[in-house]
Each structure stands twice: as C-alpha cells, then as structure tokens.
Amino acid sequence: MTARPADTTAPLIELRGVVRRYGSGDTEVRALDGVDLVIRQGEFVAIMGPSGSGKSTAMNILGCLDTPSAGHYLFRGIDVGSLSRNDRARLRRHSIGFVFQGFNLLRRTTALENLELPLLYRGEPARTRRAKALAALAQVGLADRAGHTSAELSGGQQQRVAIARALVTDPQLILADEPTGNLDSARSHEIMTLLTELNTGRGITIVLVTHEDDIAGYARRQVRFRDGRIVLDTMTAHAGSGA
C-alpha cells in the first residue's frame, strides 16, 4: 500500500453529459440533468447540495452502483456504462473503497474479520487476507483493536475500521458518504484528519458527500449540486483545516 503521486493531467473519473432519470412521462424525475465533472487522481473533492439535489445519485454512479440513463461515466478512460454487471462489480472490488455514515460493519464480527471480508470476495488466501487487514488497521491506529467486535468499539473507532476496510483493497478512489454524520465534533475532526492524511500521504483520490460546510472545508475542492445540476465548482481557501 504505497503512495501514488497525483496525476494532474489524466482524469481518474469523468462524467460527460450524465443524465439519470427515474420514472417516465408525467412522473419522470431527472435526478441528474446533464452533469459534466472531471476529477483527477489525487484530488480531495467535497460534493454538497440539499436533499434531492442529485449528489447521492452522482455518488452511486461514481461507485458503479448505478448507471446513467444518458451520457457517459468514464473511469480511467473506460466507459463504465458499457461494462457488464460482473465487470462493474469487479471494478468496485479492485478500484473503489466505500465509507458510509452508518459504518456498515458486521456487529458480532471482529474488526480484523470485517476487513478480511472484501479480500475473501476477491479470492485472496487466508494468510494474505490477515496480513493486509492487520496493516490497514495499523494505518488507522487500531492495531490493538483487531480482536474487538464492532459492538465493543466506539463510534469513532467503528468509522476508523470502516475506513480501514475501504483501504484494505488498495483502492484508487475512496467514496465517503456523510462519514461524520453519526459522530460528535471531536470524532468528526479525527476522521476528517485521517482522510486528509490518506489523500496527501498516499495520493488516494477522495470524493466526500456532506451537507456540512465545516466538513467540506477539509477538501481542496467543493462541487455543489442543485436540481440535478452542478451550480458551483471551486477550490477551497483553507483545505485540510475544516475552516
């Protein structure tokens, strides 16, 4: 799990005229309405917007959990919409890590076992799974909690385990959906500091969905959605500080 230098030329992910429709006729809703977005390797981007703005739909498409109704989503130049369901699943397993507001850990399973699970899905041998899981836990400061179940960990520790689970597959991209939504301000700062360190220290591209301005302040770039369109795309003045 070595650092990747940021590539400031080639896009890692790109949306070209992306439309996502739900329903038809009079009931049709355009969750995304012609979105163009380029994110390069090594960026830390906060996606913001009110409920129903399209930010969550955009994240689902970026995470290969959904596909556009029109337009194109490219991951390292590959048109994801042209891939089969199995190929999209393979792309998720090998290139994308996910961090959720609700942690999504198995509560009666140890931290170590939670981290080994995505590697099991990839068919990696037991010894390799254990070594990678222990290394990822150490990276988030929880090497001494490997044998603790999720129910025995605090909220902040659970989110650290969730971040370690996202890291264990050595992803090119981490998608974090309201990762501090269930945490107090002190634990939120710890989690955002950790994500910032992963971005700056390892060059992992991070796309963060949040509705909180102070959390978005940790990112270097903010993209705001409204009514399925991007209405603002700007670099932040105090990236990494939460200010």
Q: Check which CATH number belongs to the domain holding 100 and give it.
A: 3.40.50.300
Count the domains in the chain. Answer: 1
Phi, psi of 11 (to 5 degrees): -65, 140
Residue partners of 56: CB distance under 8 A and separation at least 6: 177, 209
Q: What is the CB neighbour count within 10 angstroms for residue 213?
A: 12
**Whole-angstrom Cα distance, residue 219 to residue 217?**
5
Average model confidence (pLDDT) for the chain? 90
Mean pLDDT of 57-79: 95
Q: Is the pLDDT of residue 11 over 50?
A: yes
Give Dmax (Cα) for the chain: 56
4 assigned to some structural domain: no
C-alpha span between 84 and 185 (Å, rounded): 42
| N-to-C CA span, the chain | 30
Is residue 219 assigned to a domain?
yes
CB 5 within 8 A of CB 42: yes
In a domain, residue 220? The reply is: yes
Domain of 144, in residue numbers: 11-235
What is the pLDDT, as a whole number, of residue 1? Answer: 43
The average pLDDT across 181-193 equals: 91
pTM: 0.88
- Specify whether the CB–CB gap between 227 and 33 falls below 8 A: yes
Q: Among 121-125, 169-173, 192-196, where is mean pLDDT lowest?
A: 121-125
The yes-or-no verdict on residue 241 having pLDDT over 80 is no
Residue 2 lies in a domain: no
Residues 222, 7: Cα–Cα separation, whole Å: 19
Other C-beta atoms lying within 10 Å of the C-beta of residue 185: 10
Which of 9-18, 24-33, 225-234 has the highest mean predicted lDDT (pLDDT)? Answer: 225-234
The answer to whether 130 touches 111, Cβ cutoff 8 Å, is no
Higher pLDDT: 15 or 150? It is 15
pLDDT at 157 over 90: yes
Report which of residues 93 and 62 the model is more confident about. Answer: 62
Q: Determine the Cα–Cα distance for residues 90 and 122; give it in Å rounded to an integer.
A: 9
pLDDT for the residue numbered 181: 87
Band (5; pLDDT cuts 50, 70, 90): very low
DSSP run (H or E) holding 112: helix 111-121
Task: State the Rg of the chain over Cα.
Answer: 18
3-state secondary structure of 204: coil
In a domain, 49, yes or no: yes
* Tens-place pLDDT, residues 37-57: 999 999 999 999 999 999 999
Strand partners, 226: 229
| Residue 241 domain flag | no
Residue 92 included in any domain:
yes
